[in-house]
Structure 1
Amino acid sequence: MKLQLLEIDQADQLGACSLSLLLGVFTEENRIAGFLRFARGILQAECAILAFHHEPYIWYSSPQGFKALQVSKDVNLNAYFAGETVLGTQHVNYQKFSDYIQTLGIKHQRIIAFDLKTTSMDSIGQVLLFDHQTEPYQHDQLELVREFAMSLINIIELRSDYAELKDLYEQQSALNFSKTKFFQIIAHDLRAPFHGLLGFSEVLAQERDTLDESNVQNIADYLHDTAQSTYNLLESLLNWAMAEGGRFVYHPINFKLQQVSKIVFDVLNTLAVKKNIELIEDVPEDLRVFADINMITSVVQNLVSNALKFTRVDGSGKVFLRAIQAEHEVEIYIQDTGLGMNEQQIQQIFDPSIKVSFKGTSGEKGTGLGLVLCKRFVDLNQGRISVSSKEGEGTVFKVVLPAASASHHALPPAESIPCGVELMDGKVQAI
């Protein structure tokens, strides 16, 4: 097993060298090259190597310049240090360590190694200095190199903290922008129905005597439908805000999935009949899941309601609610024969940022907020939700939940539920 040498601009995995990049390894401010050059000068060593754990490349400094090395992932020097930070000739494992390094193609007469440890005493890598000289390294020189290595670690920690804070700031800024846009949509959707509510209620209040029963009934129907859809929007918005704020209590139990499917069927079948759609429930009686029953009821009801909303009302429409056992999981499918979606709609369907809802087959209105809640609730229950669809042919939502386990509390059945290279000699083997 030999180390392999390559030019830095040949390194195609630099993105995985997170600590090296923090030290500017690919820039003019190359702290690694500067540190290795300084350490070699202090100890009068010809060559030096710095290696960070879990990075694909290590860094080699010699009078010929600064290079990148590729080494097998099996190379591990931690065990040789035995808890010490310096591995020199006085160390109990020095000879074993030296022999092992020789097998990697690092030929030397003397070698010294430093374990790079953070303030929390976690090892992040090692530094090796070596050559063919025989004079021992001086203690005060070793101490100076060790102290300089500690300053390098401090730089890494500071830059790592800065990078993390910067990422968090950018994520929060993007989230705030997304939420602002989201609430702009919600505000618009709340304002619009009130124009109709105020207008038609004014007609009833001031012009009732000029209206016949048919006109009154039409206005009453409009007011009821608009008030109901606005209420549903407010309820969904409140639930979403509570979920985002962590105010929902996740209380999983074992229960028969049919307890949920029957509730949803009983609640929504009247709507299905009204829209001339066949609602088909096919959930085996013995199918059990481990989840929060209230959240799952909300998810299934929302998905079935959406399926009914976008299914044709010409008598050919069908909505299926079925479930199957799949090893340690339960798969729930809500399928419709409705309008379907295009690829862009599929990609954005669980995105709460900026979404305009589409009208259903009977003119139903919505904001798509219910699907955001579905995704949130499924995630809280350690499940997965996905969607497949084709325009004009319908949509299938798939929800995967953990199957019930006998070790968890079960709900009583009768209870009603609400919703290398040779470095010193030999040839250099390039990649």
Structure 2
Amino acid sequence: MEYSILVVDDQPDNIKYISLLLKEMELGKKIYSAPNGKIALGLAEKITPDIILSDWEMPEMNGLELLKALKQSAKTKDIPFIMISAVKVDAVSMKESFDAGVHDYLKKPFDKLEFMARVSATLKLQGAYLKIKKNNDEIANQALLISKQHEELKKLNKLKDNIFSIISHDVRSPLATLDGLLQLFDDDQHILSEEELREYTGVVRLELNKVQTLLDNLLYWAKSQLANMQDTKSNVDVYEITQEVLSLFEERTKKKKLNLHNNIDPDYVIYADKNMLSFVIRNLLANAVKYTLDEGIITINAEFLMDSVKVSIKDNGIGMRSETLENLFKDRTVDTQTGTSGEMGTGLGLVLCKDLIEQSGGSISVKSVSGEGSEFIFIIPYNT
């Protein structure tokens, strides 16, 4: 096997002799030379030789100074270094050299066979070191990959558990209600009056709306978790998208005679994820409608900061109990606080909002006083 070798000595005859020995050993793929440590240092950074053979006593920068400088660079610190000296042959000097990181030490004049044996042994040891280092790097990379796969598997298992939990509890419950109503409709012994029919039809519509909203939230969230929310940003009119969301609640707000005020400046366009923004506003508005008393007030405001938009949805509803407030935005928990019209909540929507907002680099917070209302505030970055 041939190597790239750097020979450093201020005596040209020494360089010539060492080069001849290396060629005789059939090691010299490329043999470079330098008259002192300063030139050798620059050359080593450039060519990264497989081994350096250096004299100690040289002008400008001696062999020991060269060795210490090489150890300071990540590119050259692992190059095997053999010190060759006719002067620094005492035990103290040799110890100083080995402490600095020299791989071997030869005294001038050296025996030809000894020289060949020392150089061969150093190269073999270096080859073994590099092989071990390569294996260790591969093992470290494999360990990192396995760790990432393990974390991804944990994430998928958690997603699976959440989906199954939601389906088993939150989807089955309204479906069971619908099944009971259908059985009532099929009961020949019980003829429904027009008033009862209207009442039960309203319940069916409410339960179907609940299932649809829940499934929409669940599917959007699951997609975001699995796909890591690919960048789908576009120019978004915040006022317009808020108006679109408000139209979805028209029937419910009329029924409760709520006053909704969209105070966002019209025609203000930001570069953001429209689906994510719509999803968050829809869930927070649904929360406000659910917990606001008849003829209550809900206001939506936006403040445009330097590189983000701050949106708040405020209501004068029933507010939240302290224990409910403490559990918001945590891993999915069932919200036992019913709405002002008996609506049941799961707390899922708020958890999903938090996940999506944080994925976009934003944040969400809430202010609430029991009996006085709540205000949800979220901030998301955007590019105009």
TM-score (norm 2): 0.64
What do the CA deviations read for 1:214-266 (whole angstroms, capped 9, x no partner)? Answer: 33333222222112212222233333344444498754322332221222334
What do the CA deviations read for 1:28-80 (whole angstroms, capped 9, x no partner)? Answer: xxxxxxxxxxxxxxxxxxxxxxxxxxxxxxxxxxxxxxxxxxxxxxxxx9996
Q: Is the 8 A contact 1:185 1:355 kept in 2?
A: no
Larger displacement relative to structure 2 (210-219 or 296-305): 210-219
Show the 5 A alignment for 1:149-164. 149-164=129-144
Q: Is the 8 A contact 1:287 1:325 kept in 2?
A: no
Per the alignment, in what secondary structure is the counterpart of residue 342 of structure 2?
coil
Instruction: Find the counterpart in structure 2 of residue 223 from structure 1.
Output: 204
Structure showing greater relative contact order (alpha-carbon pairs closer than 8 Å, 6 or more residues apart): 1
The 1:181–1:344 alpha-carbon spacing in structure 2 relative to 1, beyond 3 Å, is farther
Alpha-carbon distance in 2 for matches of 1:89, 1:345: 72
Please, which of 309, 313, 316 is the counterpart of residue 334 of structure 1? 313
Show the 5 A alignment for 1:82-93. 82-84=46-48, 86=50, 88-90=52-54
Instruction: Find the counterpart in structure 2 of residue 320 from structure 1.
Output: 299
Alpha-carbon distance in 2 for matches of 1:387, 1:260: 21
Q: Deviation at 1:402?
A: 0.6
Please, which of 119, 135, 139 is the counterpart of residue 107 of structure 2? 135
Residue 281, structure 1, aligned to residue 262, structure 2: yes
| Structure 2 unaligned residues grouped into runs of 5+ | 1-40, 81-98, 109-114
One-letter amino acid of the structure 2 residue matched with residue 129 of structure 1: G
TM-score (norm 1): 0.58
Larger Rg: 2
Show the 5 A alignment for 1:197-276. 197-207=178-188, 209-246=190-227, 250-268=231-249, 270-276=251-257
Per the alignment, in what secondary structure is the counterpart of residue 114 of structure 1?
coil
Instruction: Find the counterpart in structure 2 of residue 145 from structure 1.
Output: 125
Please, which of 96, 99, 117 is the counterpart of residue 65 of structure 2? 99
Q: Is the 8 A contact 2:327 2:333 kept in 1?
A: no
Q: Is the 8 A contact 2:365 2:377 kept in 1?
A: yes
Q: Is the 8 A contact 2:288 2:314 kept in 1?
A: yes
Alpha-carbon distance in 2 for matches of 1:154, 1:199: 67
Per the alignment, in what secondary structure is the counterpart of residue 340 of structure 1?
coil
Per the alignment, in what secondary structure is the counterpart of residue 107 of structure 2?
coil
What do the CA deviations read for 1:90-120 (whole angstroms, capped 9, x no partner)? Answer: 59xx9488537769999xxxxx94259xxxx
The 1:294–1:114 alpha-carbon spacing in structure 2 relative to 1, beyond 3 Å, is closer
Alpha-carbon distance in 1 for matches of 2:134, 2:379: 47
Alpha-carbon distance in 1 for matches of 2:124, 2:136: 19
Q: Is the 8 A contact 2:357 2:364 kept in 1?
A: no
Alpha-carbon distance in 2 for matches of 1:80, 1:337: 74
| Structure 1 unaligned residues grouped into runs of 5+ | 1-76, 107-111, 117-126, 405-431
Residue 386, structure 1, aligned to residue 364, structure 2: yes
What percent of counterpart residues are identical?
20
Per the alignment, in what secondary structure is the counterpart of residue 187 of structure 2?
helix
Please, which of 378, 381, 384 is the counterpart of residue 401 of structure 1? 381
Instruction: Find the counterpart in structure 1 of residue 78 from structure 2.
Output: 114
In the comparison of the two structures, how many residue pairs are matched?
A: 307
Q: Is the 8 A contact 1:336 1:396 kept in 2?
A: no
Larger displacement relative to structure 2 (324-333 or 371-380): 371-380
Please, which of 147, 151, 157 is the counterpart of residue 171 of structure 1? 151
The 1:167–1:208 alpha-carbon spacing in structure 2 relative to 1, beyond 3 Å, is same
Q: Is the 8 A contact 1:254 1:288 kept in 2?
A: yes
Q: Deviation at 1:348?
A: 5.9
One-letter amino acid of the structure 1 residue matched with residue 240 of structure 2: Q
Q: Deviation at 1:84?
A: 0.7
What do the CA deviations read for 1:347-393 (whole angstroms, capped 9, x no partner)? Answer: 66264xx432443332223444444554565467x442322344525
What do the CA deviations read for 1:182-238 (whole angstroms, capped 9, x no partner)? Answer: 123222222222222112221122146544333333322222211221222223333
The 1:113–1:199 alpha-carbon spacing in structure 2 relative to 1, beyond 3 Å, is closer
Q: Is the 8 A contact 1:256 1:286 kept in 2?
A: yes
Q: Is the 8 A contact 1:387 1:397 kept in 2?
A: yes
Instruction: Find the counterpart in structure 2 of residue 184 from structure 1.
Output: 164
